[in-house]
């Protein structure tokens, strides 16, 4: 089973997500035979969360891009895990590089969010990745090990976890790393976790490079930003995944 997850980021209104869902559901149904080996998911922004509840009979996964690490209280402007549970959310992105760099999310905070999620049936998709400087200084493995170990600190059972490897310098600019680099990273993550946790790749995945990425034989799928925003193109991408 492979995953194709769309991260809409801050790009669609609730009305746009509604029509996207209509198109996506139809296209998945039309291509059901060809897509039987792939789970397709979308993560719109918080204002669309209730659409998950409305579409509880859906043929795709519904996720969120972030969550707060407390269940309730005086946290103006934040969204509780209780909201995600009530809306029947399937997965939540945790520690996306934009959250880390623009909103100061630390590994400690990410650890709190994952601990929280591990007590529910909602799958955390933990995003990790090195910066260009770290890559050039040969620090990729040290950085990833630190991100994973601190995110999973004191979490004994992470069977409900997905990891997305997203080198920061490849996000949103059309560049992907060498396939051999991704393969080495995925093997490294598996060796750290001693298990079969699904590992996705994210960063400029598109119809232009999906065939190259598909040659990385140990990947379990992709986390896609820009190329997920059009439902028809997103399904085209899904149809190229073996």
Catalog residues that contact ligand PGA under the rule CB under 6 A: 7, 166, 171-172, 202-205, 223-227
With respect to ligand PGA, which residue has the nearer C-beta, 17 or 119?
17
26-to-60, 87, 101, 231, 235 alpha-carbon distances in Å? 11, 22, 37, 10, 11
Locate the DSSP E strands across the chain. 2-7, 38-43, 61-64, 91-94, 123-128, 162-165, 199-202, 221-224
Are the beta carbons of 18 and 51 closer than 8 angstroms?
A: yes
Q: What is the largest CA-CA distance in the chain?
A: 48
Minimum separation from the CB atom of position 172 to ligand PGA (A): 4
CA-based nearest residue to 98, from 185, 225, 229: 225
With respect to ligand PGA, which residue has the nearer C-beta, 72 or 101?
101
With respect to ligand PGA, which residue has the nearer C-beta, 49 or 204?
204
Q: Of the listed 130, 134, 166, 236, which one is catalytic?
A: 166
With respect to ligand PGA, which residue has the nearer C-beta, 221 or 225?
225
Instruction: Give dist(CA 187, CA 199) in Å, integer.
Output: 10
The two structure tokens encoding residue 150: 């601190």
Minimum separation from the CB atom of position 194 to ligand PGA (A): 26
Is residue 96 part of the annotated active site? The answer reads yes
Q: Of the listed 69, 96, 116, 158, which one is catalytic?
A: 96
- Whose CB is nearest to ligand PGA? 225
Is residue 18 part of the annotated active site? The answer reads no
Minimum separation from the CB atom of position 184 to ligand PGA (A): 20
Minimum separation from the CB atom of position 34 to ligand PGA (A): 23
Q: CA 159, 135, 130: angle at the middle one, nearest 5? A: 35
Catalytic residue IDs: 96, 166
């Amino acid at each position: 089973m492979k995953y194709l997850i769309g991260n809409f980021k801050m790009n669609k209104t609730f009305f746009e997500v509604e029509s996207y869902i209509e198109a996506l559901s139809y296209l998945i149904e039309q291509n059901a035979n060809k897509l039987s080996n792939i789970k397709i998911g979308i993560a719109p922004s918080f204002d669309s969360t209730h659409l998950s509840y409305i579409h509880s009979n859906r043929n795709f996964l519904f996720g969120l891009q972030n969550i707060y690490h407390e269940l309730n209280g005086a946290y103006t402007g934040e969204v509780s895990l209780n909201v995600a549970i009530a809306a029947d959310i399937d997965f939540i992105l945790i520690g996306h590089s934009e959250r880390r760099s623009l909103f100061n999310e630390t590994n400690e905070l990410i650890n709190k969010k994952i601990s929280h999620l591990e007590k529910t049936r909602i799958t955390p998709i933990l995003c990790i990745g090195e910066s260009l400087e770290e890559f050039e200084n040969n620090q990729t493995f040290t950085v990833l090990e630190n991100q994973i170990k601190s995110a999973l600190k004191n979490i004994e059972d992470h069977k409900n976890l997905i990891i997305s490897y997203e080198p920061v310098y490849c996000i949103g600019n059309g560049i992907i790393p060498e396939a051999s680099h991704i393969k080495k990273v995925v093997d490294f993550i598996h060796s750290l976790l001693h298990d079969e946790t699904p590992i996705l790749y994210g960063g400029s995945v598109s119809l232009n490079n999906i065939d190259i990425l598909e040659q990385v034989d140990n990947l379990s799928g992709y986390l896609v930003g820009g190329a997920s925003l059009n439902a028809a193109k997103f399904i085209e991408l899904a149809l190229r995944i073996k």
